Chains A and B, each alone.
Chain A
Amino acid sequence: MIRLSELDLAIAASLVVALALFSRRVYPDLARQLVVAGLRTAIQLTLIGLVLKTLFENASLLWVALLSLVMLAVAGREVVARQHRRFAGVSGYAIGVLSMFISSFSIALFALVVVVGNRPWYQPQYAIPLLGMLLGNTMNGIALALDRLTQSAWEQREVIEARLVLGHSASEALSGIRQQVYRTGLIPIINAMAAAGVVSLPGMMTGQILAGAEPVEAVKYQIMIMFLITGGAGFGTLAAVHLGVKRLFDERQRLRLDRLKR
């Protein structure tokens, strides 16, 4: 594989800087966000590179588990940060973390033990990238779905209550919204599967090919990852919506928007 020098990276970075300069006039806030996000990418990825290097040199279950939990905690924070009207208190954080834990962790474990079958199963070269891809996509689905759920419940509170008053159950009163919420959570991954290989060459397979892997082998990995991601994002979204709906209503099936922030 051709090694990239720091200069190569700087040239690529100049694109982001140029974009920030151009957008500064129209939307100064966006320019600032671009630069901050670009810096975060560079710093975070450099650090994780070093972490992975150390981890690969001493592969122990403890360190793999520790890094996984850190990734989960950050993903949970990210889900909360993307909510316009989030659940107040611990529950806002817990709903996201719990749903990601249930889906991403169990699917990563399933993939490592049953599908890939490497030894030991927690071998960090497989475990961490796999979990990372699962978590990232699950996080997206959950964040989109929860945002849509709380936003719709807020906007349509009068319709929901009109149905409750007529003796509908909480889940009947929310049925239309729930469909939209699932759709919102799952559409990105459905689109990604539909466009894979025709419109877009997915990142993981591209990376393997650049690193010199056989295209046919790389494609097999990509197909597996796509399916795992779909499972992870899908089941994660189902769990998050289930928990979110439960939190929106209390034991007397009252709509409790006071549990949302803002």
Chain B
Amino acid sequence: MFDVSDLTRPGQPAVSFRLSEGELACLSGPSGSGKTQLLRALVDLDPSEGSVKLLGVRRESLPPQQWRRRVAFLPAESRWWAATVAEHFAVVHAEQLRRLGFDEDVGGWRVERLSSGEKQRLALLRLLANRPEVLLLDEPTANLDAENIERVEELVTDYVSTQRASCLWVSHDKRQITRLCERCLEMADAGLRETA
């Protein structure tokens, strides 16, 4: 479904991998190995060469806005530009909000009063509101407590299986990796390495 072949960036080894429908794979590797840079290239924030296809369609043949809505990237740190939470959402999905522990009135909350954990969870919901087909999540549970980690993991695995989406999840946590994924991609000097 999501097909990356010979993706090259300046000074980096070429990367190839594919994700199938409903698959959730982990991406790991030491910090500074370029995991975030890889995700940025996939979502077309940084220039890169090589072929990236979604359901057989090359990214170059889609307008960039559409590509980024369908191939969604969640940065490790979320940014907010408007005054209230609701202004950042394309649509508000009450059930998803509830599943991450928010009431519907969260839309009226002021952004500067959000905690870092609330921001991280809301950023994920904001991204899912675009109904993406591929999720590229950069340490989506880094600032969360155990309860919320579980909520986010459940929401994402459900989304991936019901929407038949694909997900690449960056994580440092060995236990989280074994909990979530059957497949793990590891950043190495020579490029990407598959580990079971």
List A residues at the B interface (Cβ < 8 Å): 158-159, 161-169, 176, 250, 252-255
Residue pair A176, B47 in contact (C-beta under 8 Å): no
Of A161, A166, A254, the contact of B47 (CB 8 Å cutoff): A254
Residue pair B75, A166 in contact (C-beta under 8 Å): no
Q: What residues of chain B lie closer than 8 Å to A163, measured between beta carbons?
A: 81
Least Cβ–Cβ distance between A160 and chain B, in angstroms = 9
Residue pair B43, A165 in contact (C-beta under 8 Å): yes
How far does the alpha carbon of A162 sit from the alpha carbon of B78 in the complex, in Å? Answer: 7
Residue pair B64, A253 in contact (C-beta under 8 Å): yes
Q: What residues of chain B lie closer than 8 Å to A161, measured between beta carbons?
A: 45, 75, 79
**Who on chain B is nearest to A163 by CB?**
B81
Interface SS of chain B: loop
B44 at the interface (CB under 8 A from A): yes
Residue pair B68, A167 in contact (C-beta under 8 Å): yes
Residue pair B127, A166 in contact (C-beta under 8 Å): yes
Least Cβ–Cβ distance between B83 and chain A, in angstroms = 11
Least Cβ–Cβ distance between B72 and chain A, in angstroms = 7
List B residues at the A interface (Cβ < 8 Å): 43-47, 64-66, 68-69, 72-73, 75, 77-81, 88, 90, 126-127, 130
Listed A/B pairs (13) with beta-carbon separation below 8 Å: A162-B78, A162-B79, A162-B80, A162-B81, A165-B73, A166-B88, A166-B90, A166-B127, A167-B68, A169-B65, A252-B44, A252-B47, A252-B64
Residue pair B81, A250 in contact (C-beta under 8 Å): no
Q: What residues of chain A lie closer than 8 Å to B80, measured between beta carbons?
A: 159, 162
How far does the alpha carbon of A56 sit from the alpha carbon of B72 in the complex, in Å? Answer: 66
**Who on chain A is nearest to B88 by CB?**
A166
How far does the alpha carbon of A166 sit from the alpha carbon of B82 in the complex, in Å? Answer: 14
Least Cβ–Cβ distance between B56 and chain A, in angstroms = 20
Residue pair A165, B78 in contact (C-beta under 8 Å): no
Residue pair A167, B69 in contact (C-beta under 8 Å): yes
Of A164, A167, A169, A250, the contact of B130 (CB 8 Å cutoff): A167
Residue pair A158, B69 in contact (C-beta under 8 Å): no
Q: What residues of chain A lie closer than 8 Å to B72, measured between beta carbons?
A: 165
How far does the alpha carbon of A161 sit from the alpha carbon of B70 in the complex, in Å? Answer: 16
Least Cβ–Cβ distance between A173 and chain B, in angstroms = 9
Residue pair A167, B81 in contact (C-beta under 8 Å): no
Least Cβ–Cβ distance between B76 and chain A, in angstroms = 11
Residue pair A167, B66 in contact (C-beta under 8 Å): yes
**Residues A167 and B75 in contact in the complex (CB < 8 Å), given A162-B81, A176-B81, A254-B45:** no
How far does the alpha carbon of A176 sit from the alpha carbon of B80 in the complex, in Å? Answer: 13
Q: What residues of chain B lie closer than 8 Å to A164, measured between beta carbons?
A: 45, 64, 68
Least Cβ–Cβ distance between A92 and chain B, in angstroms = 20
Of A166, A176, A254, the contact of B44 (CB 8 Å cutoff): A254
Least Cβ–Cβ distance between A258 and chain B, in angstroms = 9
Residue pair B45, A158 in contact (C-beta under 8 Å): no
